[in-house]
């Protein structure tokens, strides 16, 4: 077998608060050392185990270093029994989710050193740790070190995780640990760290953006990076906390947007298998739409934003209306982003519209019609897209005449905060047709 070693690494940083960044490093490992390490690590996991007959965390004093174990994790920590039980619950939940996601059960038990107050750890306890792992904990961060021996498609892998007990860092490193032990690799940098950050920011029951405000602020205020500049399959070292923020942003978009999630989920196993599958190769047929939604997500990024609810419907046919008698009818939902009416408008052409029904643009607001509330919330609004470029939003309402500002596809929505769509309910039935003057002009043109 050929030995190799990789490290999923976290380092602290300061930017309007303290967060954790991580980097993966590939480096050679001497065969003899790797072989010994594998056997020693395997024996360590049983030697440290402390659990009840049902596999739950055994009661332990509130001070000192104790060992706690669940089905897939072994923790050495200064956490008390209650804190350790909660952390194990979170780790097992994330482990189950990612195992289902990647279609592979976890391999072995992930051994973890989790420190709440590292100054309370004795020299004897610290000596049991990898020096690099101990150094990362002292920095207030985390790292997952995995040793792998491989021969062809066969491999043996053992990971150890070192982390502070805060800010979701253990969840991030647990993703690296799962991938390392289960697949023998974590994939290219952008994918490995982007997916680990999804685990870092995971909150049970919340489908929206859960990243810290400091990360959201950085992404919105910094110069936008081009989509494909984030993809570098040759990169095996480095990665600043800014890179981690962008990689999370990309993976969050691809995983949660129904337009791209199937391709993204199919790409993951290939990357984890070590295949050199190109990003553009996978998304080539949708690259222009993906680039548009990438920039749109960035413009509207905020806590609670739901990528799935704001996904664009690229499949609906939107032919122009030239017949005076043709009426376009569509149901527009309050809890979605821009929705295609099914009409391509022509610049300068007037269209008559009407909307019936009621909707609630938020959780604690009253039902309103297409005119919305006095502050404009809940009003029916529109926008025209041409060549993947959006025009300015314009107000509509219950009825009226609309003159198209440019050629393009017409989209409608309920005006409400982008991060509150999940709380909006109801829909309107909206109709559009050529206005009488436009219909007369169209009839005259046909007569000629």
The reply to whether 319 falls in a domain is no
Distances (CA, A) of 335 to 297, 329, 338, 423: 16, 19, 10, 7
Residue 139 C-alpha from the chain's centroid = 26
Question: Which residue, of 141, 164, 185, is where some domain finishes?
Answer: 185
What confidence category does residue 447 fall into, taking pLDDT thresholds of 50, 70 and 90? Answer: very low
CATH of the domain at 429: 2.60.120.430
| pLDDT band (50, 70, 90) for residue 296 | very high
What ranges in 48-188 are assigned the alpha helix state H?
Answer: 81-102, 123-127, 131-138, 169-183
pLDDT at 50 > cutoff 60: no
In a domain, 258, yes or no: yes
* CA dist., res. 357 & res. 329, Å (int): 13
In a domain, 323, yes or no: no
Residue 71 clears pLDDT 90, i.e. is over it: yes
Q: What is the pLDDT of residue 44?
A: 28
CA distance 31 to 319: 65
Dihedral of alpha carbons 27, 280, 301, 211, sign: negative
Q: For residue 240, what pLDDT is reported?
A: 84
Number of domains in the chain: 3
Non-local CB neighbours of 315 within 8 Å, separated by 6+ positions: none
Top pLDDT among 71 and 17 is at 71
Q: Nearest CA to 160 among 350, 348, 7, 331?
A: 7
Phi, psi for 391 (deg, rounded to 5): -85, -165
Residue ending a domain, choose from 185, 200, 225: 185
* Proportion of the chain above pLDDT 90, given as a percent: 69
Is residue 208, in this structure, part of any structural domain at all?
yes
Range of the domain at 435: 328-447
- Is residue 108 domain-shared with residue 205, that is, in the same domain? no
Last residue of one domain, picked from the residues 279, 312, 345: 312
Identify the pLDDT of residue 276: 83
| Cβ atoms within 10 Å, residue 124 | 8
Q: Same domain, yes or no, for 136 and 24?
A: yes
The answer to whether the beta carbons of residues 75 and 89 sit under 8 Å apart is no
Pair 417, 377 in one domain = yes
Residues with Cβ < 8 Å from 256, sequence gap 6 or more? Answer: 207, 306, 307, 308
Residue 262 CA to residue 260 CA, distance in Å, equals: 6
Return mean pLDDT, the chain: 84
In a domain, 318, yes or no: no
pLDDT of residue 412: 98
Q: By C-alpha distance, which of 91, 95, 104, 108 is closest to 38?
A: 108
Are residue 8 and residue 155 in the same domain, yes or no? yes
Q: Where are the alpha helices (DSSP H) in 24-168?
A: 31-47, 81-102, 123-127, 131-138
**What is the tens place of the pLDDT at every residue in 84-143?**
999 999 999 999 999 999 999 999 999 999 999 999 999 999 999 999 999 999 999 999
Give the bridge partners for 146, in sequence order. 6, 159
pLDDT at residue 151 in the model: 74
- Asked if residue 317 belongs to a domain, the reply is no
Residue 160 lies in a domain: yes
8 Å CB contact between 126 and 115: no
Residues 262 and 212 in one domain: yes
Query: Do residues 171 and 281 both lie within one domain?
Result: no
Considering just the CA atoms, what is the radius of gyration of the chain in Å? Answer: 27
Task: Judge if 4 and 146 occupy the same domain.
Answer: yes
Query: What pLDDT was estimated at residue 203?
Result: 87
The partner residues of 430 in beta bridges, in order of sequence, read: 330, 355
| Domain identity same for 427 and 335 | yes
Answer yes or no: are the C-beta atoms of 186 and 6 closer than 8 Å.
Answer: yes
| pLDDT score at 205 | 85
- Looking at the DSSP bridge assignments, the partners of residue 161 are 112, 144
127/231 same-domain check: no
Give pLDDT tens digits for 228-246.
888 864 554 457 889 999 9
- In tens, the pLDDT along 420-440 reads 999 999 999 999 999 987 654
What percent of the chain stands above pLDDT 70? 82
- Nearest partner of 372 among 412, 345, 410, judged by Cα: 412
Are 190 and 247 within 8 A, CB to CB?
A: yes
pTM: 0.82
End-to-end CA distance of the chain: 82
Same domain, 308 and 356: no
Summarize pLDDT for 242-283 with one digit per residue, the tens.
999 999 999 999 999 999 999 999 999 999 988 888 888 899
Domain-located, residue 321: no
Lowest mean per-residue pLDDT among 195-204, 301-310, 397-406: 195-204
53 secondary structure, DSSP code: T
Question: Does the structure show a pLDDT above 80 at 168?
Answer: yes
- If asked whether residues 353 and 416 sit together in one domain, one would say yes
- pLDDT for the residue numbered 14: 28
Segment (H or E) for 432? strand 425-434
**Residue 37 scores a pLDDT above 70:** no
Segment 351-379 mean pLDDT? 95
Taking only the tens place, the pLDDT of each residue in 297-339 is 999 999 999 999 999 999 999 999 878 888 999 999 999 999 9
pLDDT score of 402: 94
Asked whether residue 104 falls in the same domain as residue 197, the answer is no
What's the pLDDT at 400?
97
Say if residue 11's pLDDT is above 70.
no
Backbone angles phi, psi at 365, to 5 degrees: -130, 165
Q: How far is CA 143 from CA 72, 78, 96, 268, 326, in A?
A: 18, 18, 21, 22, 63
C-alpha distances in Å from residue 425, one per residue of 345, 393, 394, 396: 28, 22, 22, 19
**Rounded to whole angstroms, how far apart are CA atoms 435 and 323?**
11
**Over residues 12-30, mean pLDDT:** 32
Q: Is 227 left (phi over 0), alpha (psi -120 to 50) or beta?
A: alpha
């Amino acid at each position: 077998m050929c030995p190799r070693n990789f490290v999923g690494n976290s380092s602290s940083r300061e930017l309007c608060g303290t967060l954790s960044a991580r980097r993966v490093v590939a480096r050679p490992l001497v065969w003899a050392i790797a072989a010994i390490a594998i056997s020693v690590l395997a024996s360590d996991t049983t030697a440290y185990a402390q659990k009840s007959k049902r596999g739950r965390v055994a009661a332990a004093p509130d001070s000192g270093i104790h060992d706690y174990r669940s089905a897939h994790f072994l923790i050495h920590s200064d956490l008390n029994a209650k804190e350790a039980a909660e952390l194990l619950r979170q780790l097992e939940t994330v482990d189950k989710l990612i195992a289902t996601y990647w279609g592979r059960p976890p391999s072995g038990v992930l051994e973890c050193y989790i420190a709440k107050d590292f100054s309370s750890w004795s020299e004897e306890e610290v000596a049991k740790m990898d020096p690099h792992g101990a150094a990362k904990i002292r920095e207030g961060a985390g790292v997952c070190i995995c040793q792998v021996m491989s021969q062809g498609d066969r491999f043996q892998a053992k990971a150890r995780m070192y982390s502070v007990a805060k800010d979701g860092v253990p969840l991030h490193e647990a993703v690296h640990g799962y991938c390392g032990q289960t697949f023998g690799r974590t994939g290219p940098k952008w994918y490995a760290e982007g997916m680990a950050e999804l685990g870092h920011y995971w909150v049970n029951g919340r489908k929206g953006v859960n990243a810290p405000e400091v990360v959201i602020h950085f992404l919105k205020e910094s110069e936008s990076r081009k989509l494909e500049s984030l993809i570098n399959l040759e990169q095996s070292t480095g990665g600043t906390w800014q890179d981690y923020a962008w990689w999370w942003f990309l993976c969050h978009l691809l995983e949660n947007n129904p337009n791209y999630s199937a391709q993204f989920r199919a790409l993951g196993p290939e990357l984890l298998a070590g295949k050199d599958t190109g990003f553009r190769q996978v998304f080539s047929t949708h690259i222009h739409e993906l680039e548009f939604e990438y920039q749109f997500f960035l413009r509207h990024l905020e806590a609670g934003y739901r990528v799935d609810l704001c996904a664009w419907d690229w499949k609906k046919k939107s032919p122009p209306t030239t017949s005076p008698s043709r009426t376009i009818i569509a149901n527009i939902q309050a809890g979605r982003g821009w929705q295609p009416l099914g009409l391509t408008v022509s610049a300068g052409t007037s269209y008559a519209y009407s909307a019936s029904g009621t909707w609630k643009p938020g959780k604690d607001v009253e039902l309103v019609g297409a005119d919305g509330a006095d502050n404009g919330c809940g009003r029916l609004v529109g926008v025209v897209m041409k060549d993947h470029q959006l025009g300015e939003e314009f107000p509509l309402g219950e009825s009226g005449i609309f003159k198209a500002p440019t050629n393009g596809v017409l989209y409608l929505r309920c005006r409400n905060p982008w991060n509150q769509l999940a709380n909006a309910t109801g829909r309107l039935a909206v109709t559009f047709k050529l206005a009488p003057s436009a219909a007369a002009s169209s009839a005259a043109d046909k007569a000629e």
